[in-house]
Amino acid sequence: MNKLTPAEKRVILDKGTEAPFSGEYVNNKEAGVYVCKQCGKSLYDSKDKFESFCGWPSFDEEIPGSVKRTLDGDGQRTEITCANCGAHLGHIFGGENLTAKNIRHCVNSISMKFVPGKKV
């Protein structure tokens, strides 16, 4: 497990949310793989990232077996966490018709690390 900063702990362990449009990967368009900040497990391939204009990185597919879905404490949303270590990533939404897959993983940049050029 990687050592987390206080800001990373607030999101990853305490299930917080970073401010919209503040994360370092919102506008990243490089090819590579996004991995869990806490354990390093591969989560998302850059080919599945899309512009949703929501303020957080958005993906319409995860790397198989990498993300766990759980009903959020509010009973309204579905939380997504790293299937390997349980790190809070964000939430998943459907029915927005933003991509052909009609799903949006809304992920906090601070929950991930980008590895340019890495292949799944």
Dist. CA 80–CA 82, nearest whole Å:
7
Q: What is the DSSP letter of 10?
A: H
Catalytic one among 36, 54, 85, 106? 106
Could you tell me the CA-to-CA distances from 86 to 10, 41, 55, 66 in Å, in that order?
14, 11, 23, 10
What the block records as the tokens of 72 is 């959020």
Query: What residue type is assigned to position 61 of the chain?
Result: E
Q: Is 36 a catalytic residue?
A: no
Q: What is the CA radius of gyration of the chain?
A: 13
Catalytic residues: 106
